[in-house]
Amino acid sequence: MQENRVSNKDVIVMLKEILAAMEVKGYNSFRVRAYQNAISVLENLTVSIQDLWENKRLGEIPGIGPGIESHLNEFFTEGSVNEFEEIKKTLPEGMFSLIGLRGIGAKRAYKLALAFKLDNREDALEKIKLAAEKGKIQVLEGFGEKMEKSILEVVEEQKLTKNKKIRFLLPQAEEIVDRVKKYMSGCDSVIELEACGSFRRKNTTIGDLDIPISTKEPQKVINYFLDFPEISEVLVVGDKKASVILKNEVQVDIRVSEPESYGSMLQYFTGSKQHNILLRSFALNKGMSLSEYGIKKGSELMEFPNEKVFYGQLGLPFIPPELRNGNQEIEFAQKDKLPKLIELSDIKGDIHSHTNFSDGVDTLEDMVEGAKRMGYEYIGISDHAPSIQSRGLGTVLKIVSDTRKKIEEINSSQSDIKVLYGYEVNILVDNSLSLPDDILKNLDYVIAGIHSGFSQDRETVTQRLLSAIENPYVSVISHPSGRMLNERDPADPDWTKIFSAARDNNVLLEINSQPSRLDLPDDLIKMAIDWGVDLIINSDAHSISDLNFMKYGIYMARRGWAEKKNIVNSLKYDEFVKKIKLM
């Protein structure tokens, strides 16, 4: 095993720089596009790219052609890509500090870097700022006064393109979408609208919002939208579209469409880009060409009011948006072998929840009531385990027997819902669990999770997870990768060992529904299912209202191709308890 593992982020930065260099050097558009695709695919991976490379599996990723594979190969063996290093020598290095800024693409960055001798990354921004202040940018060919002003603004405020910004989480996106919808419902000319793009595909994080609107009066709709009070800056206005930035920095793109072709517009705007590219070449093979306006066969343009008929024209069933990631969904659709995805209404219980005994806010009784209102057959209470070190063994034993009694009382006093008693124990750095087996065996079930020490090396993290999986009392591994979106990268254990051990020990891997976790991530869910691992979707609720997080876990499961049979808490109580190692 290598000492210094290369993070996915490093790989992507490297590829983006190659891409910028290729654009400046005028490489042919096929190569450039191949690079763009590869980057968008790799950006969505949680499994380590280096790991795939070591296992000679890079070629299996859709979008990674032989050219890029050989560059990655070179990067992992030599630490750099020779062809690129050669080109880079001919480029002013400071240009790479500019390419993430809004409105400055690779070619513009290059021109600026040449004009102002941006030879290194460190002072490139400062030099550009000075040049703009002195009016030296507007005189460059192809720039002008307006551009200069916007460059100054972008550099001063470090306004990043949406790809470099912090991407926002689903609940936040949902709130914005609701407000836009509510506002637009005040416009009589709007027939219908839907937020598409990554939002509709239920990506973990959202770069911007893409909203197609069906109308017969496009101009009225666009004008109405431009009066939305949350808009802080209008980027683009056309007769069929507008792009704006809201006061909360979120970009919203709208596109208007005739109702007759709204289905094609939805399809186009939902993406993903990779899915659309693959769908276009699939259609081309059948002599059809696709656009946001419809499907052309010869010179005839066919229009589609909804997506079902659009896909139908291609001989395909409707493909759920969560699957549209360029991940073999078209091949499966063609054979009519798409998975029948898990749905929220399939879920019969939730066994990862916290009360005010640990870091939750509501009482055990209230959480049980909340779970009843969710319509569940069972709820598991799994507070963080009380610490023996700080409370002493005697106190902990008393807590366990008192809580057990309380739960038995609830169970005997009503028959609407079954309450299970568990703890979420920590997998400590020495591989042990935060409660001894003698206590664990008296619980209904045990969830084990890593809560610290994520940056340990691969071997160590793998061993920690394996030792928890092999503990006879552990039923579930919580948030297995430990990632925190926008904050902490996923740990990088040897997933194949984790999956085979989980399967062999009948331990469930959790799909944690916290919007900032969503862990297992979708690509690992799909892998786990292929390995025959059973999964459970839990809310990890810390309050009654958090029980509603379950839907985000469902989204993630669907993106990971999970069916009802893969998700253990879709089972009725009697079946469920057979699947979970109930003590």
Nearer to ligand DGT, 243 or 358 (CB): 243
Nearer to ligand DGT, 74 or 292 (CB): 292
197 near ligand DGT, rule: CB under 6 A: yes
Rounded least distance, CB 387 to ligand DGT, Å: 41
Q: State how far the Cα of 257 lies from the Cα of 259, in Å rounded to an integer.
A: 6
Is residue 251 within a helix (H) or strand (E), and if so which, with residue range? strand 251-257
Structure tokens at 293: 């306006």
How long, in residues, is the chain? 583
Window of 173-181, 248-256, 481-489, 555-563 that interacts with Ca ion by CB under 5 A: 248-256
198 near ligand DGT, rule: CB under 6 A: yes
Compose the 253-292 pattern: x for residues touching Ca ion by CB under 5 A, - for all others.
Answer: x---------------------------------------
- 381 DSSP β-pair partners: 421
Strands (E), 418-482: 418-426, 445-449, 476-477
**CA–centroid distance for 398 within its chain:** 42
Q: Give the closest residue to 425 by CA, choosing from 438, 436, 411, 410.
A: 436
| Interface positions, 483-542, toward ligand DGT (CB under 6 A) | none
| Interface positions, 481-510, toward Ca ion (CB under 5 A) | none
Nearer to ligand DGT, 267 or 471 (CB): 267
Asked if residues 492 and 455 have their Cβ atoms less than 8 Å apart, the reply is: no
Q: State how far the Cα of 354 lies from the Cα of 370, in Å rounded to an integer.
A: 12
Nearer to ligand DGT, 173 or 341 (CB): 173
Of the candidates 51, 210, 350, 519, which one interacts with ligand DGT according to CB under 6 A? 210
- 96 DSSP β-pair partners: none
Nearer to ligand DGT, 207 or 521 (CB): 207
Rounded least distance, CB 197 to Ca ion, Å: 3
Is residue 243 within a helix (H) or strand (E), and if so which, with residue range? strand 241-246
Rounded least distance, CB 354 to Ca ion, Å: 33
Compose the 251-290 pattern: x for residues touching ligand DGT by CB under 6 A, - for all others.
Answer: -----------------xx-xxx--xx-------------
Q: Which does 272 bind (CB under 5 to 8 A by kind): Ca ion, ligand DGT, none?
A: ligand DGT
Number of residues located near ligand DGT, criterion CB under 6 A? 14
197 near Ca ion, rule: CB under 5 A: yes
- DSSP code for 303: -
Rounded least distance, CB 255 to ligand DGT, Å: 9
SS3 562: coil
Rounded least distance, CB 135 to Ca ion, Å: 33
Q: Which does 276 bind (CB under 5 to 8 A by kind): Ca ion, ligand DGT, none?
A: ligand DGT
Q: Which does 424 bind (CB under 5 to 8 A by kind): ligand DGT, Ca ion, none?
A: none
**CA–centroid distance for 320 within its chain:** 16
Window of 67-75, 139-147, 195-203, 422-430 that interacts with ligand DGT by CB under 6 A: 195-203
240 near ligand DGT, rule: CB under 6 A: no
| Nearest position to ligand DGT, beta carbon | 271
329 near ligand DGT, rule: CB under 6 A: no
Nearer to ligand DGT, 321 or 422 (CB): 321
Of the candidates 17, 51, 148, 208, which one interacts with ligand DGT according to CB under 6 A? 208
Q: Which does 269 bind (CB under 5 to 8 A by kind): ligand DGT, Ca ion, none?
A: ligand DGT
> C-alpha angle with apex 512: 508 to 515, nearest 5 degrees?
170
Is residue 211 within a helix (H) or strand (E), and if so which, with residue range? strand 209-215
Cis peptide bond upstream of 118, omega within 30: no
Structure tokens at 326: 């360029």
Pairing of strands 231-237, 205-206: unpaired
194 near Ca ion, rule: CB under 5 A: no
Nearer to Ca ion, 169 or 498 (CB): 169
206 near ligand DGT, rule: CB under 6 A: yes
Structure tokens at 70: 């050989």
Burial 223-244 (b: 16+ CB within 10 A, else e): ebbeebeeeeeeeeeeeeebbb
Backbone angles phi, psi at 571, to 5 degrees: -85, 150
Is residue 383 within a helix (H) or strand (E), and if so which, with residue range? strand 378-384
Q: Which does 271 bind (CB under 5 to 8 A by kind): Ca ion, ligand DGT, none?
A: ligand DGT
Cis peptide bond upstream of 520, omega within 30: yes
Asked if residues 294 and 262 have their Cβ atoms less than 8 Å apart, the reply is: no
- DSSP code for 237: E
HEC letters along 533-550: CCEEEECCECCCHHHHHH
Nearer to ligand DGT, 189 or 203 (CB): 203
| Nearest position to Ca ion, beta carbon | 197
Task: State the residues that interact with ligand DGT by CB under 6 A.
Answer: 197-198, 203, 206-208, 210, 268-269, 271-273, 276-277
Task: State the residues that interact with Ca ion by CB under 5 A.
Answer: 197-198, 208, 210, 253
